Structure 1
Amino acid sequence: MREDVGRHNAVDKVIGTALMDGAIPLHDWTLVVSGRIGYELVQKSICAGISAIVGVSAPTSLAIDLASEFGLTLLAFARNGVAKHYLPSIESAK
């Protein structure tokens, strides 16, 4: 776990620590953020090999498009043990 005033800096700290520990790629990792899931966070996750992102707020439409293109699992509005499942879509799992 890492924290920072800015969500981008916090994600950079998580990925940087994993890189320093020799853990990259992070295929078995889920990135959990306490804010909005933006395009840039999805980009960083893809580059690090992270397979899923969970956030407490809405993802942007560009974030959804990019996550879909690269097969990232995406959940948002995660609160009190419940989250909205954006990707992969239920239709693509059939």
Structure 2
Amino acid sequence: MEDRHVKSIAARATFAVWVFAATAALAQLWLARPDLGPQFPPAFSLWLVERYGSTNGEELCDLETLLALACAFLLVVLLTLSVLLLLRRRRPAH
């Protein structure tokens, strides 16, 4: 029972580290190469800037970073959970 608990904690920690690292890497890639990331309509961008209250370039950069991190996080979590679900379905039942 103890071994199972340790494996569960290790699996959750590995998942958290993976999500954090992959999110950071993907967001960095999107910020460095904006053509690779999601393209938002100008109307959405203007609305988001107004909602955030950006008044200068630094705040706009902060907003861009937050948006890249949010999109990357969602993508990484959805893809990771999809892969884990597929692996679980393919694994024979004990």
Higher relative CO (CA 8 A, sep ≥ 6), structure 1 or 2? Answer: 2
Flag the structure with higher helix content: 2
Q: Which has the larger radius of gyration?
A: 2
TM-score range, shorter chain: under 0.3
Superposition TM-score, scaled by structure 2 size: 0.28
TM-score scaled by length of structure 1: 0.28
